[in-house]
């Protein structure tokens, strides 16, 4: 959704740029394809950018150092969604249960792997790799006990699941603190799943988020990135994004570069400096 709208805005507002959005397998695939120059722009979670730049992605020692953040988009909020019938009331109850983690290689799957490995549970869960909508349908049919989501809040597939069966959202923040997850991965931050967003879930449930970043290949010309940012932030683009998804309300000039931990693209440095954002030397 974000890629579709941003590409349309750039195509309309930045002269001489022909850009098309493409569906992908998610954050890790986007990181690899942008780094290789197969795609010029992408959406990648901050944690994947940070770990990729250090060569610390799971089973992948490649150093992805040509991916440069442009702007933060939204908080990708982790959800652990389970059926009431599953008997799952806490993360500890997941042992032996059938849980989908998202598409293989996606930001959701990577975040779930980090989380469950930090808590010593990864090898004790019956893991499946399914997209969110597939997982919601499978859970409603009794083929899964639950599924993991890392996405803008609220999430349509969680709403689909809540409409089809009785669900519960599990607190994943508290066990993460107790298990040292946030010490190991400090780019994740606390976030509540706000009560009332999903049927049958009136109360807040504690969780965490990563920041979804708009990134560019390092070889994309500075002026194109600069003009693209102007089109989105100064020429009405934000309103179009907010119409497309409520999570875009988290974007704004006042947010600046919050959530970015890696060096910005030079075009982004120029844009954000002009907007009065103080950019630390290590991000320039």
Mean pLDDT across 94-116: 95
Q: d(Cα 103, Cα 26) in Å, to the nearest integer?
A: 8
Closest CA to 64 of 34, 19, 109: 34
Cβ neighbours around 268 below 10 Å, total: 28
**What fold does the segment set 76-210 form as a domain?**
D-Maltodextrin-Binding Protein; domain 2 (3.40.190)
Q: What token pair was written down for 277?
A: 């954002």
Phi then psi for residue 91, to 5 deg, are -60, -35
pLDDT tens, 173-209?
999 999 999 999 988 999 999 999 999 999 999 999 9
CA–CA distance, 252 with 107 (Å, rounded to integer)? 23
Q: Where are the beta strands (DSSP E) in the chain?
A: 41-45, 67-83, 98-100, 126-128, 146-151, 167-169, 189-193, 205-217
Residue indicated by tokens 């931050």? 189
| 249 contacts: CB under 8 Å, gap ≥ 6 | 242
**pLDDT value of residue 136:** 97
How high is the pLDDT of residue 235?
87
Q: In the chain, what are the domain boundaries?
A: 2-42+66-73+217-283, 76-210
Q: Per the structure block, which two tokens stand in for 169?
A: 């959202």
What average pLDDT does the chain have?
95
Q: Between the CA of residue 256 and those of 168, 226, 272, what are the distances in Å? A: 35, 14, 7
Cα distance between residue 60 and residue 58, in whole Å: 5
5-62 pLDDT tens trace: 999 999 999 998 989 999 888 899 999 999 999 999 999 999 999 999 999 998 899 9
Reported as a single tens digit per residue, the pLDDT across 209-219 is: 999 999 999 99
Quote the tokens at residue 172.
Answer: 């994943």
Instruction: Please list the residues that pair with 189 across neighbouring strands.
Output: 209
User: What does the pLDDT look like over 68-82, one tens digit per residue?
Assistant: 999 999 999 999 999
Task: Give the integer Cα–Cα distance in Å for 216 and 267.
Answer: 10
Is 257 in a helix, a strand, or coil? coil
Identify the CA nearest to 53 among candidates 175, 201, 213, 182: 213
Rounded to the nearest angstrom, the gap between the alpha carbon of residue 281 and the centroid of all alpha carbons in its chain is 26
The angle, 0 to 180 degrees and rounded to 10, between the axes of the packed helices 107-118 and 46-53 is 70
Q: Which CATH superfamily is domain 2-42+66-73+217-283 in?
A: Periplasmic binding protein-like II (3.40.190.10)
pLDDT at 43: 95
Q: How far apart are CA 119 and CA 166, in angstroms?
A: 27
Contact 279, 257 (CB under 8 A): yes
**Residue 191 CA, distance from chain mean position:** 13
Judge whether 14 and 232 are in contact, CB under 8 Å. Answer: no
Residue 256, pLDDT score:
94
Asked whether the domain spanning 76-210 has the same topology as the one spanning 2-42+66-73+217-283, the reply is yes
């Amino acid at each position: 959704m974000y890629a579709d709208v941003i590409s349309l805005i750039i195509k309309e507002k930045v002269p001489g740029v022909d850009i098309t959005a493409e569906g992908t397998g998610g954050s890790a695939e986007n990181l690899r394809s942008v780094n290789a120059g197969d795609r010029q722009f992408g959406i990648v979670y901050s944690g994947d950018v940070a770990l990729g730049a250090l060569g610390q992605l799971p089973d992948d020692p490649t150093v992805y150092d040509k991916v440069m953040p442009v702007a933060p988009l939204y908080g990708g909020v982790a959800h652990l969604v389970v059926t009431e019938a599953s008997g799952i009331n806490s993360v500890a109850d997941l042992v032996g249960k059938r849980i989908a983690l998202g598409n293989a290689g996606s930001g959701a799957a990577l975040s779930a792997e980090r989380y469950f490995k930090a808590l010593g549970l990864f090898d004790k869960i019956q893991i499946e790799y399914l997209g969110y909508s597939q997982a919601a349908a499978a859970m409603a049919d009794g083929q899964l006990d639950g599924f993991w989501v890392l996405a803008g809040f609220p999430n349509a597939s969680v709403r689909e699941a809540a409409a089809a069966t009785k669900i519960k959202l599990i607190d994943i923040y508290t066990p993460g603190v107790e298990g040292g997850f946030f010490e190991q991965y400090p780019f994740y931050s606390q976030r509540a799943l706000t009560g009332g967003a999903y049927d049958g879930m009136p109360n807040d449930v504690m969780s965490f988020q990563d920041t979804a970043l708009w990134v560019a290949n390092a070889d994309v010309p500075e002026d194109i990135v600069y003009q693209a940012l102007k089109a989105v932030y100064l020429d009405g683009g934000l309103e179009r994004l907010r119409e497309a998804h409520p999570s875009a309300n988290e974007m704004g000039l006042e947010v600046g570069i919050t959530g970015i931990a890696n060096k910005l693209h030079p075009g982004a440095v120029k844009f954000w400096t002009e907007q009065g954002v103080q950019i630390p030397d290590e991000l320039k």
